[in-house]
Structure 1
């Protein structure tokens, strides 16, 4: 899979590769679903765990972060992001598949209690999203 690459790798630095799946969710009024986390504003989604498909990871992550079930409408594309956190000595290459989704039914409260589901306008979401590859995915749906 080839897609845009965000961030700059450091020469000689090894990176832990993390496969991820994220949801771009747009309501009829034009607002987008994002999660407020201790690190900042992100799209719903996250890492693919051992043995999971991208789709299963997406469903699990959306539920854990919002308390809702999701339905995939279309696969938007693939993008990667280099994450350089020198302070914590963490260097990751996040390889992500992005899906346009809708939330279906509320199952319960979010499992991740430090995540809060927010609905933001396109401009506000685009401005506040922490990761450039999340902003790119939002642009795919605008």
Structure 2
């Protein structure tokens, strides 16, 4: 069973399935995130919808590059969650199936290619509570906690 976060399903509302992939990109205790230039408080994990004919990993690489300008390596799946939301960019109600991966940011290749996006780095402890949806926050917190546990085990 895939955990659901966010709003309750609205009775009688039709939802269109939108499968997406999102990345937790950590380097030196900070996360590489994205926000829209017109709303810098709406902080998100980089990612988005998987296009027709595209694999999950192809979409992950494309979306991270479009929203941050960075290339990534060594993706590993952490899990998935669902949320039911109105998607204003598409003028539709969506059942978002969100696949979450951790990957290593390799290097930037310039600014984000997707108009209106801005990449930003934020300490993981600050980032996790500021992410724009509860599913992203839960995965970022679990990732941070697993890192603290790995750090104690290595010490």
TM-score of the alignment, normalized to the shorter chain, above 0.5 = yes
Distance 1:22 1:58 in 2: 7
- Which residue of structure 1 aligns with residue 147 of structure 2? none
RMSD between superposed Cα atoms in Å: 1.9
1:3 aligns with 2:5: no
Q: How many residues are aligned here?
A: 139
Distance 1:54 1:110 in 2: 20
User: Highest CA radius of gyration, 1 or 2?
Assistant: 2
| 1:1-142 equivalence runs, <5 A | 2-7=1-6, 8-28=8-28, 30-37=29-36, 38=38, 40-84=42-86, 90-142=92-144
Structure 2 unmatched ranges of 5 or more: 145-155
Maintained 8 Å contact 1:72/1:99: no
Maintained 8 Å contact 1:19/1:47: yes
Q: Answer 1 or 2: which has greater helix percent.
A: 2
- Which residue of structure 1 aligns with residue 152 of structure 2? none
